[in-house]
A and B are shown apart, each in its own frame.
Chain A
Amino acid sequence: MRTEDGPRVALIGAGGIANAHIDAWLTLGADVRVYSHDGADELVAAHGGGTVVDSRAEAFDGADVVDVATPTYTHGEVVRAAFAAGLDVICEKPLALTSAEAGELVEAARSAGLALYPAHVVRFFPAYAAMREHVAAGGVGEIAVQRFTRLGARPVKPWFADPRLSGGIVMDQMIHDLDFARWTAGEVVRVFARQSVTPDRTDRLGVVSAQVVLTHASGALSYVTGTWAAPGSAFRTTFEVAGSEGFVRHDSAEHAPLRLDTGAAGESHGLLPGTSFTEDPYLTELRELATAVRGGAPARVGAEDGVAAVRLAEAANASLLSGDAVELAPTLEGAA
């Protein structure tokens, strides 16, 4: 049930990330209309809220904001349609598969006078936000080296495995940490990437692990690793930021506030699956973005950040192809 001041949201797409978004929207008291080629009924049934509609136009009609949670290769088309309907947009990362298209979307938003926010949710994870606050306040001095790792079971939907549709692991998964590395250490001037893939098996896809070295304009270096691991692998992220006056580090597998050992296989010795004991970062994210869309307090991420993140992933993919480092020319503020 929408609360009096809850936003009216057109949620386009009903796949993996839509599950996280609809929960957050319902908690925020939003009226959510879901349109998707596939899975909308199941999504609404599973989360006990929202309304399934039969067309995108119906979802857009009367909405305050469009939440684009479709596969990456469709983002541009959906975002443009939302702008054509005069609607502000929150778009799942990556904003687009190329920095050229991402830049065009930002330009389209600007000329239409509409908001476009890329949903870089890692900026809203409490450990990452606490680290950023400390680093931005000078807590580690001048940043020398940053490390970020991100590992999870390889996504099974076929479009993820097609680099023309997902941009591969660098564009789809590692972009979270590329964005964060730039947020803490600033613009990047050189990108080098390597990737290793194990052979697919009859019953499942192979494991993919990509490693990227960023050189920042400040001289700081970032080492970013993204892994699509074997089925059943626990989702895990780590970071360390080291500077002239100290370092900060985090490993999502450490410091679990509650561990249970009930002697049952799979649950022993572990953090309760899916439980972080802090506010859901998607809720933090969508609350802040919805507030910004309505002209309230500014969000911690903007459309230009979405373009810059795509540009970093694009450069890493180019480096994977060429085997050489890719130089990034400084860009004019906001240019793609």
Chain B
Amino acid sequence: MVGHGGLAATLVVRRPDFVLDLALEVAAGEVVVLLGPNGAGKSTALRALSGLLTLSAGQITINGVVVADSTRHRPPHQRPVGVVFQDYLLFPHLSVLDNVAFGPMSRGTSRSAARRIAEGWLERMSILDLAMAKPRLVSGGQAQRVALARALATDPELLLLDEPLAALDARTRLLVRSELRRHLSDFGGAAVVVTHDPVDATVLADRLVVIEHGRVVQAGSPSEVARRPQTDYVARLVGLNLLRGVASGHLVSLPGGGTVQLAQSATGPAYVAFSPAAVALFARRPEGSPRNVWLGLVTSLEPHGAGVRVEIRGAPDGSSSILAEITPAAVADLEIVPGSSTWVAVKASDIEVYPDQARD
């Protein structure tokens, strides 16, 4: 329970085809990113927090005040919450200034005072020169700043951002991302950001919460999550090979019968993660230092950055497949084509092993 400041929520939303069941705590000043694939329930969680959706069960407490539980539901306009929507939803009939002044005015501030507040926010976002423009005339990056200013102008205790960078092109995104990070750091309340982009998540988050199928599957600091993924989805996002097995000493046994050699020892249900760049391919069985050596079948090749990503099935055992990242030269030397077999080697010291929290 958060004693003073911040958000404490248990969100349960039941739909015929979907259940969201999520516990979320965000301290004041903290930025938590909800990361997950489409349809995982991220936006549903935000709608529930903002009051646009009624909880089936659970409780939402903001700064010690219960705004929703199984019997109470404070409507959105009575919650101290600011929302930045995915495509910003700036009111097309109002100027940029009046968009930002809309919140303070709706909460009882006089028109002139609300406009002064709005001017202050536009100045902070360095877009005061756009004050009189209609939203359809401003660029994507500017619209994002207007939306953020509009949400912050009501002085919320909880700030919600739904895919705040998804509407931007790649170049603008880069700029706006670091700028958004700065504004979020300045914000004193609790902030929840929803995204499906791992880079956005890593840059913006103090803490990551990964959601799949309406449930939390992993939580932790961005570097922790990136180093030790707990699901295939997260492993793919951060670009790691992930295998699941049972560890005993320096060996992890995989369900398909294969084993993985470790440099350190572990016990119990465990994940094994290693980078595709740590995977070496050979035409003949390599000899020498203690390493994992398996025989696999190349299923696909595709360019990845400056190198080539090779997907290999059957390694370490019949039911697994892993990715290797090698140079185009190596592809030519080894004469790798889809359907050819290859020797796969991974140094034990390049392998990260950690407990499987779901089965622990």
> Do the two chains belong together in a single complex?
no
By a beta-carbon cutoff of 8 Å, the part of chain B in contact with chain A is none
By a beta-carbon cutoff of 8 Å, the part of chain A in contact with chain B is none
